[in-house]
Structure 1
């Protein structure tokens, strides 16, 4: 029996969460180091998964594990990874150590203990981060729909406590009012996602009923259902398939988040510490867009095609709306939150463009957005912690007193606006090319998001980093060693993947082709006029017309 590598990749952070939480209250420093060690062990396992994965291998999933779990209901402990899952597991495992390092002092006891300033358990903070990592990794690995649903919902619990119990301390008012805002943001996050999860649960039950009726026994195995549909053994009525698709898609659109289900994100990110904000948008939210590719498209291909026009419009609104609100923000963290809504619009646009360039670009966008947002948000967090304020107007001239901090913020911002040479550029380019080849009008309008991204990023940098040095930032220290250790690898990854994305595309592309084959979609063929080609005909026939005549 082979080593259960996928189980181990999720079990290590889960064990780390339990071990960290079990440490005595006085062992705060030990808890930090223990959490970091477990996150690094998970990173090693993620790298082993990436090395063991063979993009040229037969079959959609590799390193599979399958064991009976709840026999009476057809639920199995079934895991497997394709190239998309491998890339996102690697992203998660890379980011968590940096999240832990960046939040090294975020749960330390406050210097002045008063009834208005609450003590926070350090062990709990880092244990919750590891718990989220374990559940996210299992969500990327699960190929049983019911198993996926359990961890898709379970990750809400640690995230709720991270938002509500360990929020941002930067603010002009007292801890009591800040705690009230955090509680509101955490409850809103929980209610939105629970509502989406309950609707998905109804769809999961409906899927079980359909498979039980047509296959003789209820099934939750993704591969079994896909193969049954391909063989004609499972034929859903159009109305039933559309309702089930909407149940799944609604939950994933809340998690992603897609307009108009996005309103929980700015509050959750704004009231969280910067590392927790990174955990939300760079890690947890990727489960939503990943699930659209793995479950929505493959389980309900005909309904996906039916819903595509409406989803493309919603994605386009997310792109423009998120970017416009980011331009209008005066709170640094809320600006980054609205920018992320715009970026998730690009990801969903690429997924439902139903082209290899669009879906490949969307998958790369998930990875590259995670890296760029992590870099920008963590540096912004370092900036905010020094000044004690999130407001853009409270800064000015920082680059003269903290050039390393200013420089890394600029690189993170340039990556966010998809500057050529940095990783997000190729992702955005592929999404736009893939969309334009099938939906040219939508592709053209989506480019407005690029222009607006340049506006909000450069305005943020100009107002915080340039100009006269404000009195409040004159003594601001530059990046410390621990902070450089956090930021430097992220900057290096953004540059490396921007210059040479081939290792990532080689892993992702076969999985994209498999998804397109399941939904029975092919890239649109160009219909170039022959007379536009040197030596071509002059009668206005297209290349396709001429080839068809030759075949006759």
Structure 2
């Protein structure tokens, strides 16, 4: 009796994870105002915290010993086309739900004093976006996945277009068009799969359905059109630096920490299990693109003069590690890639927040506008150096764990691919240390730096929370890997057994 009661209470945790932030976002939008910014911000923070709390039972009640979907919810949505409101999580998707809810709290706190106009719209956009992104990670119906995947574009488009920099309209349109156009082929693939499966949008059914090699290749490239842009992979990455530079700090945080992961997650949930033979055949092609991103984009990051652009390009390089890990088809590579995604969520968020701290004071992202910041902001520089080291993959930080696992997996796959991937550690240290040296150390460069005020208690709290996450994951990554291990093994077993 008690077990059944607990089961009934836990059946809707995924729905709550999606719709609690959306509902709070609508409440903030309806009742918040610039005349009462304090109350509006507090309501948004309460909404973000409650939204995170309802995801906690997903972790505490998760069974890491099975690869089956858990917390499953299913009900009819569009009966005429057998479309279901079908949700579930496994060890691959769990961490991204928690990460999304966690980062939303950080973003609301980060915009507490910075955003002074249209406060309710700003906070509501992030809360609604949080719910939509969680929807992508838990959807088990193809059409439902597509609706959530595309709907995330709307609040992010508004965030960049309304609160962004001088070229915000251009950046917002470029972001929207790139990601929308890529996704249209995915919709065609979904319709094809619905047709050949006998009228089902169930993703698990698609994964178990045997397909000939040619249809698999077509489906793989249809998915690639959407997911490669979202990651983004080279050469369809050019929208990301523009979006990051023009987006407000919170927009850059969510874009790097969560939205890039939607594309990478698509490879794991759709491309590999639905088109396993095509995925293996196209593995060398994806590995080549990934290595170009790791090496070439790393070199591009070194020559950047804008801090935001530098970190944006470093994100592309780090996501190259992720796609590399997926397509070497071994446990170390795939688990390392997922760990890298989670770590990048913490580290990239922290890096963009650090840049936002400086920008709020000096109103410049140009590296040349700084120098000797440590003399006036020692607390800030402590965090800045830590996160930069994590961005470079320093051992004992989260940035090292995923990269090391992917490199080990790549060496197992092919020694020279592993060697090429390892150059990322050198390049990461180059652009990260070069930026830190010019911004933080040396003599005070100008009056703007001389007049800087160190971190406020709110800023210290935000960066401190992220620092704890980065160090804890770097020192004790086992809990993160344990949750995903069974699901990753099942995915790789499915891919290897499906070879024609």
Shorter chain as denominator, the TM-score bin is: over 0.9
Report if aligned partners of 1:376, 1:413 keep a CA contact under 8 Å in 2: yes
* Cα displacement string for residues 375-429 of structure 1 (whole angstroms, at most 9, x for unaligned residues): 1110111011111101000001000111011111101100000100001211100
**Matches of 1:396 and 1:379 in 2, distance apart?**
15
Establish whether residue 456 from structure 1 lines up as the match of residue 431 from structure 2: yes
The aligned counterpart of 1:334 is 309
**Matches of 2:259 and 2:413 in 1, distance apart?**
30
Establish whether residue 413 from structure 1 lines up as the match of residue 403 from structure 2: no
The aligned counterpart of 1:506 is 482
* Cα displacement string for residues 57-78 of structure 1 (whole angstroms, at most 9, x for unaligned residues): 3x52100001111122121111
Report if aligned partners of 1:60, 1:514 keep a CA contact under 8 Å in 2: no
Match of 2:496 among 505, 517, 520: 520
- The correspondence of residues 69-218 of structure 1 with structure 2, limited to 5 A, is 69-108=77-116, 120-168=117-165, 178=166, 181-211=167-197, 217-218=198-199
Match of 2:331 among 345, 356, 360: 356
TM-fit CA distance, 1:246:
0.8
Match of 2:270 among 290, 295, 318: 295
**Matches of 1:28 and 1:486 in 2, distance apart?**
20
Establish whether residue 265 from structure 1 lines up as the match of residue 240 from structure 2: yes
Report if aligned partners of 1:210, 1:236 keep a CA contact under 8 Å in 2: no
The aligned counterpart of 2:458 is 482
Report if aligned partners of 1:84, 1:511 keep a CA contact under 8 Å in 2: yes
* Cα displacement string for residues 173-220 of structure 1 (whole angstroms, at most 9, x for unaligned residues): xxxxx1xx1100000000000101112111111211222xxxxx2111
The aligned counterpart of 1:389 is 364
TM-fit CA distance, 1:521:
6.3
Report if aligned partners of 2:20, 2:47 keep a CA contact under 8 Å in 1: yes
TM-fit CA distance, 1:24:
4.7
Establish whether residue 444 from structure 1 lines up as the match of residue 419 from structure 2: yes
Q: Secondary structure at the match of 2:74?
A: strand
The aligned counterpart of 2:57 is 48
Q: Secondary structure at the match of 1:519?
A: helix
**Matches of 1:416 and 1:293 in 2, distance apart?**
24
Q: Which is worse superposed, 65-74 or 424-433? A: 65-74
The aligned counterpart of 1:549 is none
**Matches of 1:140 and 1:70 in 2, distance apart?**
21
**Matches of 2:204 and 2:190 in 1, distance apart?**
15
**Matches of 1:161 and 1:226 in 2, distance apart?**
35
Report if aligned partners of 1:354, 1:521 keep a CA contact under 8 Å in 2: no
Q: Secondary structure at the match of 1:330?
A: coil
- The correspondence of residues 234-245 of structure 1 with structure 2, limited to 5 A, is 235-245=210-220
The aligned counterpart of 2:348 is 373
**Matches of 2:441 and 2:225 in 1, distance apart?**
43
Q: Which is worse superposed, 444-453 or 387-396? A: 444-453
TM-score by length of 2: 0.96
TM-fit CA distance, 1:301:
0.7
Establish whether residue 221 from structure 1 lines up as the match of residue 229 from structure 2: no
* Cα displacement string for residues 11-46 of structure 1 (whole angstroms, at most 9, x for unaligned residues): 100001100000153222211111111110111111
TM-score by length of 1: 0.87
Number of residue pairs matched by the alignment: 488
Establish whether residue 60 from structure 1 lines up as the match of residue 68 from structure 2: yes
Report if aligned partners of 2:373, 2:440 keep a CA contact under 8 Å in 1: yes
Report if aligned partners of 1:322, 1:340 keep a CA contact under 8 Å in 2: no
- Structure 1 residue runs of 4 or more that deviate by more than 3 Å after TM superposition: none
Report if aligned partners of 2:114, 2:360 keep a CA contact under 8 Å in 1: no
The aligned counterpart of 1:535 is none
Q: Which is worse superposed, 217-226 or 337-346? A: 217-226
- The correspondence of residues 12-31 of structure 1 with structure 2, limited to 5 A, is 12-25=20-33, 26-31=35-40
Match of 2:224 among 245, 249, 256: 249
Report if aligned partners of 2:135, 2:145 keep a CA contact under 8 Å in 1: yes
Report if aligned partners of 1:40, 1:97 keep a CA contact under 8 Å in 2: yes
Match of 1:466 among 435, 441, 445: 441
Report if aligned partners of 2:193, 2:206 keep a CA contact under 8 Å in 1: no
Point out where structure 1 has 5 or more consecutive residues left out of the alignment.
Answer: 109-119, 169-177, 212-216, 230-234, 523-552
**Matches of 1:135 and 1:388 in 2, distance apart?**
32
Report if aligned partners of 1:355, 1:521 keep a CA contact under 8 Å in 2: no
* Cα displacement string for residues 432-459 of structure 1 (whole angstroms, at most 9, x for unaligned residues): 1111111222111111111111010001
**Matches of 1:444 and 1:292 in 2, distance apart?**
24
**Matches of 2:250 and 2:387 in 1, distance apart?**
15
Report if aligned partners of 1:82, 1:511 keep a CA contact under 8 Å in 2: yes
Q: Secondary structure at the match of 1:84?
A: coil
Q: Secondary structure at the match of 1:293?
A: helix
Report if aligned partners of 1:88, 1:140 keep a CA contact under 8 Å in 2: yes
TM-fit CA distance, 1:106:
3.1
The aligned counterpart of 1:528 is none
Report if aligned partners of 1:35, 1:100 keep a CA contact under 8 Å in 2: yes
The aligned counterpart of 1:497 is 473
